[in-house]
Amino acid sequence: MATTIMAGCAQTPADQIAPRQDTVRLCNGNGCADVPRNTATFQGEPGDPEAERRLQALAELAEQDPRAAYDLGLRLLRGDGVTRDSYQAIQWMRKAGDRGHTEAQYALGRLYLLGFEEMGSDPAEAEAWLSLAAAANYKDADKLLAEAQAAKQDEQRLYRIREAYRKSWGAWYTGYPYYWIWAPSGWYLR
């Protein structure tokens, strides 16, 4: 007969070494492991009372800690234990970014530069967030900032072209005749 021994997350000297930045240490009844940071960690389905309790606790923590606001934003973007909600995700990311969280600032810069789901690209907003991340020397923020500035210039140039066309054409649609005309007996084709 085999005996199963449940070990906790005892810290050995090798375990005491800080995990790499791209991993996070997760422990469960079977032990501990370093897993990629993008691993889904909110077990349970959206609407599950336990998942809702954890989400509420994280939201309360997020009001005080920008790292928790960033995490909540990521969970909402990914649908990790919660219903995906890009609007709320961006709101939480903005709360984190407004409080100086550079990863959130960089993430917002990327989201606004590329556009996301129903949200189109906004190079000016991307430039603002990426400027904050670049000022904090966040990796690759300078590169993306240059792209945002170029996209902003392109957007402004295209806007000027569209405005010039609008003004030169006037109300172009006023010169086109209708095919159908209303009369007391109903619509008729000219």
Tell whether pTM > 0.75: no
pLDDT digits (tens, 9 = 90+) for 8-36: 334 434 443 444 456 655 545 555 566 66
pLDDT at residue number 8 = 38
Instruction: Report residue 52 CA to chain centroid gap.
Output: 21
Structure tokens at 126: 């991307």
Mean confidence (pLDDT) of the chain: 80
pLDDT at residue number 89 = 94
Mean pLDDT of 173-180: 84
Residue identified by tokens 């930045």 is 21
Tell me: pLDDT of 156 over 70. Answer: yes
* Angle between helices 102-114 and 66-78 in degrees, nearest 10: 30
Cα–Cα distance for residue pair 145/124, rounded to 1 Å: 10
pLDDT digits (tens, 9 = 90+) for 78-110: 888 788 899 999 999 999 999 999 999 999 999
Using alpha carbons, list the distances in angstroms from residue 14 to 30, 80, 90.
18, 30, 38
Cα–Cα distance for residue pair 89/104, rounded to 1 Å: 11
